[in-house]
A = this chain, B = another copy of it.
């Protein structure tokens, strides 16, 4: 996988002085892990300008402890913040929250994207209202990079939409292709539609319709057809498309199974003196393996399909994982993720917005973390 060099200047010039607006108050250990993450990110994105939004009285002394982060950041004071357990409807009513002001900076063209480790339900609700969906996208979705036996893949929707129709799934395929190009550097990523069997007759009407539309579209050469649960970690396709309920369960089930494997392995190595010696002999390789599938390395889920880059870091993240979320946002900004999506939508004649049916909107009352 090769990537184009990171040149945030391109978008910064087009869109305002800041690459990213960062919500300094989101997450379980904000603002410390946010600043620690930006300090790490500063090495990888030395030219990125960052608008750091939060309680100035708290941030100014804290930032002094992270000199590399301080070089990148301008502080903007926000009087309020959104707590991790606040309901999205309540979060929408809080004026002047750090999360809201970060979204507003994107909407105003001051920044290309937002990163927050805050409440994901609030984040999606604010993003939809302030940053707004791209024309032609009826449902923004949550996407992230995941490990597989054949290298990294991307999967969506990871929980933004509980119920999805055929059109939503086609939109997800378009957004997934663009994100795989931006995040994995693949010119022509393959796409699979998650189902309970790979035969064309399996699944429900919604899946069959989405499959037919993709087969009849310019994406057809990249469309692999239906894939199953085991294809995700096998890396059968570069992009796995599914609804937000199934995607969320699959993501967490896969992570849980890897965790189970490691906990069993630990028991094996701790059996006796010989197995402990065995552990010492394979330790470097095991650590590389553990790092490779480390959820922290894969931190940073992007709400794709919005008029700006919106990235959610895990709420319990540490500095290293927050830095990974910043990488996701910077990749999307510098590789012009949204331009790629717009071009595909136009090519497929889907550029015009289609209003969400009330029944469908009602079926997805709550985004998930």
For the complex with contacts A254-B254, A278-B278, 12 further pairs of A-B residues with Cβ separation under 8 Å are: A149-B264, A163-B204, A196-B249, A203-B245, A204-B364, A229-B254, A229-B255, A230-B256, A232-B253, A250-B250, A254-B256, A257-B257
Binding site for B on A (CB under 8 A): 87, 147-149, 159, 162-163, 194, 196-197, 201-204, 228-234, 242, 244-246, 248-265, 267-269, 271, 274-275, 277-282, 285-286, 288-289, 292-293, 363-366, 368-369
Pick the residue among B197, B248, B279 that contacts A229 (CB under 8 A): B248
- Contact A264 B289, CB 8 Å, known A162-B196, A255-B230: yes
Contact B289 A282 (CB under 8 A): no
Q: Please, which residue of chain B has its CB at the minimum distance from the CB of A280?
A: B278
Contact A229 B256 (CB under 8 A): yes
Pick the residue among B201, B260, B366 that contacts A233 (CB under 8 A): B260
Contact B228 A252 (CB under 8 A): yes
Q: Please, which residue of chain B has its CB at the minimum distance from the CB of A253?
A: B229
Cβ–Cβ < 8 Å partners of A196 in chain B: 159, 162, 244-245, 248-249, 368
CB distance from A44 to the nearest CB of B (A): 26
Taken together as a complex, chains A and B put the C-alpha atoms of A281 and B259 apart, in Å, by 23
- Contact A254 B252, CB 8 Å, known A282-B269, A285-B275: no
Q: Please, which residue of chain B has its CB at the minimum distance from the CB of A270?
A: B285
Main secondary structure of the interface of A (DSSP, over half): helix
Pick the residue among B246, B256, B271 that contacts A245 (CB under 8 A): B246
Taken together as a complex, chains A and B put the C-alpha atoms of A288 and B204 apart, in Å, by 40
CB distance from A314 to the nearest CB of B (A): 13
CB distance from A120 to the nearest CB of B (A): 10
Q: Please, which residue of chain B has its CB at the minimum distance from the CB of A201?
A: B366
Pick the residue among B246, B256, B260, B263 that contacts A249 (CB under 8 A): B246
Cβ–Cβ < 8 Å partners of A257 in chain B: 233, 253-258, 261
Number of this chain's copies in the assembly equals 2
Pick the residue among B253, B262, B269, B363 that contacts A204 (CB under 8 A): B363
Taken together as a complex, chains A and B put the C-alpha atoms of A204 and B368 apart, in Å, by 11
Contact B258 A286 (CB under 8 A): no
Cβ–Cβ < 8 Å partners of A245 in chain B: 196, 203-204, 246
Contact B148 A260 (CB under 8 A): yes
- Contact A233 B249, CB 8 Å, known A274-B281, A278-B279, A285-B275: no
Cβ–Cβ < 8 Å partners of A242 in chain B: 249
Cβ–Cβ < 8 Å partners of A293 in chain B: 260-261, 264
Q: Jot down 11 A-B pairs with beta carbons below 8 A, ordered by A.
A: A196-B368, A197-B369, A204-B245, A229-B256, A233-B260, A249-B250, A255-B257, A261-B293, A268-B286, A278-B278, A281-B281
Cβ–Cβ < 8 Å partners of A369 in chain B: 197
Pick the residue among B163, B264, B275, B289 that contacts A281 (CB under 8 A): B275
Cβ–Cβ < 8 Å partners of A282 in chain B: 268-269, 271, 274-275, 278-279
Taken together as a complex, chains A and B put the C-alpha atoms of A147 and B259 apart, in Å, by 13
Contact B197 A368 (CB under 8 A): yes
Contact A256 B281 (CB under 8 A): no
Taken together as a complex, chains A and B put the C-alpha atoms of A227 and B55 apart, in Å, by 36
Contact A260 B149 (CB under 8 A): yes
Q: Please, which residue of chain B has its CB at the minimum distance from the CB of A197?
A: B368
Taken together as a complex, chains A and B put the C-alpha atoms of A286 and B262 apart, in Å, by 12
